Amino acid sequence: MQSTFHWPLYVIFSHRMSNWVAAILTTGVSIGLSALSYYVLEPVIAGKPVHIFQCNVNWKKLWLPTMVAIVLLGVNGESVVKAAPPVSTLEQNLWISGIRQDVNLIQSTHTAILANTGPVTTAGEKTKVHVPTGVSIIGDSVTLGTRDYLGQHVANSTIDAEGDRTMNLADQVLIAQQRNHRLRQDVVICIGTNALDGYRVQIMKLIDALAPGHRLIFMTPYNAQAQSDWNSSKLAVFEWTLPAKYKYVTIADWEKVAGQHPAVFAGTDGVHFGGVHAGDVLYAQVINQALKVARTKPCK
């Protein structure tokens, strides 16, 4: 006897109670429903005799309760849908941006990016490394929310953004693009709001993974509620120490600029501004300004 009830039941219960209570309740209800299905419903549907407490059960006795249950579930479902909160502008913006990004990713596999590349001489070397020209932006949900505007206002750029992305996941994206020869000369890392405890190690792994012929721009994260002891704040402080050690690293100070424009985040969570045009403009300006500074520096 196999149960297919446990997962949807656990999802429902876990949203209303603690995990351990949800697990116990899920187990009990799943066993009950599985027994009902195995010993009653399946035999009745198959036309076999079923006896419950010395009472004969057949389809003629079950069809009316079954129809009533279906109708009640339908009415309840309709009421739940009507009572559900509307999709916020931010959520809608993120969904649409995510879909468009997936479409562009599919299209990019059919585009000869290397046809538009030029030779880049790496510092201290006589050999030439062929790297795609332009900008690769790797970001999280903040970047995803402004993806369409960025694509139009950061010249010759590709954007790979995803919600809840951390620095170690950004490192994986960078390595994958690099392996597929899609990582462009200027790499902008817009990560940090979801900073983990090992952010220093993750950043250093990303720097080490970057191949010669690239420049690296780190965008400092912004959270209106962040305190100085938050990982995102400490990550920004650490990022500011990098340009002195690595001549090919530049900082795009989104943390400072965003803090100077609180109106952009009015009515939001203090992190995302998706759908607010003024936020789109500021975000693109910060990246473009950092790119101007980065292009005065040598590549790795």
What mean pLDDT value characterizes the chain?
83
Domain boundary at 17, 49, 83, which? 83
Q: Is residue 106 over pLDDT 70?
A: no
Per the structure, the complete domain to which residue 56 belongs is given by: 6-83
Pair 78, 121 in one domain? no
Sign of CA dihedral 230, 236, 239, 243: negative
Model confidence band, residue 113 (pLDDT cutoffs 50, 70, 90): very low
Pair 157, 235 in one domain? yes
**pTM for the full model?**
0.66
Pair 30, 133 in one domain? no
DSSP-based three-state secondary structure for 101: helix
- The lowest-confidence range among 115-129, 194-208, 211-225 is 115-129
Model confidence band, residue 216 (pLDDT cutoffs 50, 70, 90): very high
- The answer for residues whose C-beta is within 8 angstroms of residue 161's C-beta and 6 or more apart is 97, 101, 137, 138, 139, 140, 141, 143, 144, 147, 190
Q: What is the DSSP letter of 40?
A: I
Pair 119, 216 in one domain? yes
For residue 131, being part of any structural domain is answered with yes
Convert the pLDDT of each residue in 272-297 to its tens digit.
Answer: 987 789 999 999 999 999 999 999 99
Pair 187, 229 in one domain? yes
Pair 79, 98 in one domain? no
User: Per the structure block, which two tokens stand in for 162?
Assistant: 């995803």
Per the model's pLDDT, the better-predicted residue between 300 and 99 turns out to be 300
Domain boundary at 83, 104, 121, which? 83
Convert the pLDDT of each residue in 128-146 to its tens digit.
Answer: 557 999 999 999 999 998 9
pLDDT at residue 49 in the model: 75
Q: In angstroms, what CA-CA distances link 143 with 54, 201, 213, 274?
A: 65, 23, 25, 9
User: Per the structure block, which two tokens stand in for 195?
Assistant: 């900073």
Pair 129, 262 in one domain? yes
pLDDT at residue 8 in the model: 76
Pair 106, 73 in one domain? no
For residue 222, being part of any structural domain is answered with yes
Looking at the 3D structure of the chain, how many domains does it have? 2
For residue 204, being part of any structural domain is answered with yes
Pair 223, 186 in one domain? yes
Domain boundary at 83, 106, 128, which? 83
What's the CATH number where 189 sits?
3.40.50.1110
For residue 29, being part of any structural domain is answered with yes
Convert the pLDDT of each residue in 225-235 to its tens digit.
Answer: 999 999 999 99
Q: Are 195 and 235 in contact (CB under 8 A)?
A: yes
Pair 119, 184 in one domain? yes
For residue 299, being part of any structural domain is answered with no
Q: Could you tell me whether strands 186-190 and 249-252 are parallel, antiparallel, or unpaired per DSSP bridges? A: unpaired
For residue 237, being part of any structural domain is answered with yes
Pair 76, 98 in one domain? no
Pair 70, 10 in one domain? yes
Q: At what angle do helices 231-239 and 199-209 cross, to 10 degrees?
A: 40
For residue 300, being part of any structural domain is answered with no
For residue 172, being part of any structural domain is answered with yes
Q: At what angle do helices 199-209 and 167-179 cross, to 10 degrees?
A: 10
